[in-house]
Amino acid sequence: MSSCTSGSAFRLALLLALLQGPAAGCYEADHSAGVIEGAMRDAASVESLLARQAEARAALPPSTSGPTPSQGEAPAAKAILFGDLHVHSTFSIDAFVFSLPVFGGDGAHPPADACDFARHCSQLDFFSINDHAESLTPARWHETIESIRQCNALAGDAANPDLVAYVGWEWTQVGETPELHEGHKNVIYPGLADHALPARPITALPQGTLERARALWLVGALRRGLGPLGLGEYADFLWLVEQMARTPDCAPGVDVRTLPADCRENAPTARELFEKLAQWQLDALVIPHGLGWGIHTPPGSSIATQLTPASHDPSKQRLLEVFSGHGSSEAYRDFAEFETSATGERICPAPTPDYLPCCWRAGELMAQRCGDLSSAECDARVAEARQLALDAGGSPHRVFPDTRQEDWLDCDQCRDCFKPAMNLRPGVSAQAALAAARSDEPSADGGPLRFRFGFIASTDNHTGRPGTGYKQYARKTMTDARGFASPRVDRITRPFIVGEQQDPRRAQPAPDEERGFRGLLDTERTASFMYPGGLVAVHARERDRDSIWQALEAREVYGTSGPRILLWFDLLNGPGGRTPMGRAVTLAEAPRFEVRAIGSFVQRPGCPDESVAALSAERLEGLCRGECYHPSDQRHTIDAIEVVRVRPRTRADEKLAELIDDPWRRFECPPDPAGCVVRFADPDYAKVGRDAVYYVRALQTTTPAVNAANLRTVFDADGRALGTAPCYGNYRTPFAEDCLAPAQERAWSSPIYVDRPLEPVP
């Protein structure tokens, strides 16, 4: 999620505080990094899970399709470990906002909460903390590092810890146009020593952004006035705003290692980010995420614009977050967000059976308001409404501020995607990234410049809860679905957030403030697209920090939508024999593959005795909400294996839809809890004579999932949307309502990149 700028943050705190009224509790100026309560997990418990994994792997059934492999040794014995590489605490300013009582928040969740939750609620093997760099003041950056060090200190033997915690931050860039948008990236470091970490995180703020909040006397006066009124939480928020504003920008154009430790380091472009990371000379991973999330990404954005040597460092940018609690950015869909006229003007496209553009819906809403207007005037206003909605980018609803979410039906949404990101932007999907290539920018190996990402998933959770997807429950706690807790607050703030309708029979331009606090408060559009998050899985030789990091760097990783599905995807006839997922190979003959998948454990209710003993009853309820990772002896079955094939572009004018085969192959699996094994080859590879990329999805049997039906759209017999029943984050949907719907949870392998041998240079 984007963070609000400090120049307007104190106005936000004042508005929310006055609307909320006095709250219980005493006033303190700051929230600390918290106290870790739980000790390390029992070693026998950890080893038991690994032993059960090894037993399941040994019991895999024979292949359901394809011949027995004639080449390739048996895969090396590696453990599959599960983690979360995208976790926010309330050290992130947006997380702080949503923890306030006015949003029904349950208070501060500092970095220490993430440690206890990962260890005893979700029982992960590893995680990282990734608070937004903008709100990581020098003091909070050091507090974060110390908290993560304490978490690791409790993990036992460094060669076999119960939990590995990494330090990182989020670089949160939002461009106003597709050409300027580069998106969000998590930066994570392998080590914890002072020499292995930078002195500062790096923000995406332009220089001088926070100077607009320099009227600190006003911020301070307001803060001091709120505390005695029983509005301590809002005073705390302003305290953070004050500290952010007091932190000076680092001098531009100076080597990062010579800058003072107490300044704010800014890099408003990816080029500048990678330049600064190179100056630090530290090992790091940079993980793009939230690619397709339309609330931040302008319509028409393309990930190909980021494929330049300056904006993409393949030594660091090796992984891509394909799924999170904010939805899936996997799929490319060939729907037009807008069309372009012969003169270069953007035009609103007509709807298709699988896509309703919001600009078109704006025209329909205007037509309903025409009343006694002449036909010509009505047509003109309909055309105007469509154009204004198109110009509004990610906020088309603001051209009619008096509308409700239901009025817009399911416009701009992907109707056939699994747990999609809201307002999916297909041009920045993971599949679009695999298809991108630039022959005018050769890579180090002499071929065209391409992205070669490994695929992961994580949560993007904003309450210090890594790995929330182990069970589908507690929607307003285990997802980021938020909304005003009071109808009074909602009613009064709505004009402030989306504007006021000037003329009920005419669309109006949308206010241009999406990145600021208005966009942050506009939560109801997103609440139906928030999910318990995903997990990253690594194939690691050992459980220690270095082994996990090596697997991440090698891209021997995959992502799941939450359950701990076991997945292996290998190229059988690689140049060196069997080759695991994530690798790039050069091959002249037809590639042959093997997929092995085992469903996740069916969960028992409640928490295991180990978790109950580790945390106090109050903390167990406050963090875990009475439910933990608690596997039974039964496993879900794998229903199908789907193979996706992507052929990277050889020309810039090639259409993505013709290069992405999704699915290219589908294999039905028998209902066997022991798992599913399939083998297949691509006989067309040698005939076509071009590079290809392959990855697989393992689809688990259907189970209920939070928000799986999104807006719960109702269609007529011809497939036209008739109405929606959104799952609200505010008072309109009961707090206990989880909005469950059937879904096939899944795992996405990292791709295997198969390149044709380069033609010899004459």
Region of poorest pLDDT, from 143-152, 483-492, 590-599, 609-618:
483-492
Token pair for 624: 């875990």
Token pair for 120: 């005893």
pLDDT of residue 134: 94
Question: From CA 235, how far away is CA 331, in angstroms rounded?
Answer: 43
Question: From CA 611, how far away is CA 393, in angstroms rounded?
Answer: 46
| The pairing of beta strand 265-266 with beta strand 327-328 | unpaired
Say yes or no to pLDDT of 735 above 50.
Answer: yes
pLDDT of residue 241: 82
DSSP 225: H
pLDDT of residue 212: 64
pLDDT of residue 238: 78
DSSP 538: E
Tell me whether the omega of the peptide bond preceding residue 663 falls within 30 degrees of 0, making it cis: yes
The band of 761, judged by pLDDT with boundaries at 50, 70 and 90, is: very low
Residue 152: phi and psi, rounded to 5, are: -70, -30
Residue limits of CATH 3.20.20.140 in the chain: 64-102+110-207+263-334+421-478+530-706+742-755
By three-state DSSP, how is residue 197 classified?
A: coil
The band of 246, judged by pLDDT with boundaries at 50, 70 and 90, is: confident
Token pair for 713: 């759209």
Question: From CA 457, how far away is CA 685, in angstroms rounded?
Answer: 29
Say yes or no to pLDDT of 514 above 50.
Answer: no
Burial readout 665-682 (b: 16 or more C-beta within 10 A, e: otherwise): bebebeebbebbbbbbbb
Mean of per-residue pLDDT scores for the chain: 90
Token pair for 422: 């809201």
pLDDT of residue 11: 54
Say yes or no to pLDDT of 2 above 50.
Answer: no
Q: Which amino acid is at 585?
A: V
The band of 515, judged by pLDDT with boundaries at 50, 70 and 90, is: very low
Cβ atoms of 578 and 728 within 8 Å: the answer is no
Which 3-state string (H, E, C) describes 6-34?
HHHHHHHHHHHHHHHCCCCCCCCCCCCCC
CATH fold of the domain at 64-102+110-207+263-334+421-478+530-706+742-755: TIM Barrel (3.20.20)
pLDDT of residue 77: 80
Q: Which amino acid is at 47?
A: E
Question: From CA 326, how far away is CA 688, in angstroms rounded?
Answer: 38
Which 3-state string (H, E, C) describes 540-589?
ECCCCHHHHHHHHHCCCEEEECCCCCEEEEEEEEECCEEEECCCEEECCC
Say yes or no to pLDDT of 230 above 60.
Answer: no
Question: From CA 318, how far away is CA 538, in angstroms rounded?
Answer: 14
Region of poorest pLDDT, from 389-403, 435-449, 504-518, 719-733:
504-518
* Lookup result for tokens 């030789």: 541
Cβ atoms within 10 Å, residue 316 = 21
pLDDT of residue 14: 52
* Lookup result for tokens 């895999």: 60
Say yes or no to pLDDT of 16 above 60.
Answer: no
pLDDT of residue 29: 55
The band of 65, judged by pLDDT with boundaries at 50, 70 and 90, is: low
Q: Is the dihedral of CA 63, 66, 67, 69 positive or negative?
A: negative
DSSP 98: H
| Nearest of 297, 709, 305 to residue 475 by alpha carbon | 709
By three-state DSSP, how is residue 279 classified?
A: helix
Average pLDDT over residues 751-761: 84
Token pair for 191: 């080590």
Average pLDDT over residues 35-53: 94
Question: From CA 109, how far away is CA 462, in angstroms rounded?
Answer: 8
Residues pairing with 681 in the sheet: 592
Percent of the chain with pLDDT over 90: 76
CA 277 to the chain's CA centroid: 22
Residues pairing with 678 in the sheet: 595
Residues pairing with 324 in the sheet: 327
pLDDT of residue 488: 86
Residue 287: phi and psi, rounded to 5, are: -120, 105
By three-state DSSP, how is residue 611 classified?
A: helix
Region of poorest pLDDT, from 21-25, 120-124, 726-730:
21-25
Question: From CA 358, how far away is CA 337, in angstroms rounded?
Answer: 9
Question: From CA 536, how far away is CA 559, in angstroms rounded?
Answer: 5
Residues 6+ apart with CB under 8 A from 345: none
* DSSP string for residues in 79-97: EEEEEES-B--TTSHHHHH
* DSSP string for residues in 346-377: EEPPPPBTTB--HHHHHHHHHHHT-TT--HHH
Question: From CA 295, how far away is CA 413, in angstroms rounded?
Answer: 12
pLDDT of residue 647: 98
The band of 520, judged by pLDDT with boundaries at 50, 70 and 90, is: low
Cβ atoms within 10 Å, residue 735 = 11
Cβ atoms of 87 and 130 within 8 Å: the answer is yes
Say yes or no to pLDDT of 74 above 80.
Answer: no
Average pLDDT over residues 267-282: 97
Say yes or no to pLDDT of 72 above 60.
Answer: no
Q: Read off the pLDDT of residues 702-720 as tens digits, 9 standing for 90 and up.
A: 999 999 999 999 999 989 9
pLDDT of residue 239: 81
Say yes or no to pLDDT of 179 above 70.
Answer: yes
Residues pairing with 455 in the sheet: 320
| Nearest of 174, 166, 433 to residue 284 by alpha carbon | 166
Question: From CA 400, how far away is CA 392, in angstroms rounded?
Answer: 11
Residues 6+ apart with CB under 8 A from 436: 303, 304, 307, 450, 451, 648, 649
Region of poorest pLDDT, from 321-325, 344-348, 490-494, 694-698:
490-494
Question: From CA 464, how far away is CA 113, in angstroms rounded?
Answer: 6
H-helix or E-strand spanning residue 333 = none
The band of 209, judged by pLDDT with boundaries at 50, 70 and 90, is: confident
Q: Read off the pLDDT of residues 299-354 as tens digits, 9 standing for 90 and up.
A: 999 999 999 999 999 999 999 999 999 999 999 999 988 998 888 899 999 999 99
Residues pairing with 721 in the sheet: 715
For residue 4, give Cα distances in angstroms to 235, 481, 510.
17, 18, 18
The band of 206, judged by pLDDT with boundaries at 50, 70 and 90, is: very high
pLDDT of residue 4: 45
For residue 82, give Cα distances in angstroms to 118, 151, 164, 466.
11, 17, 11, 11
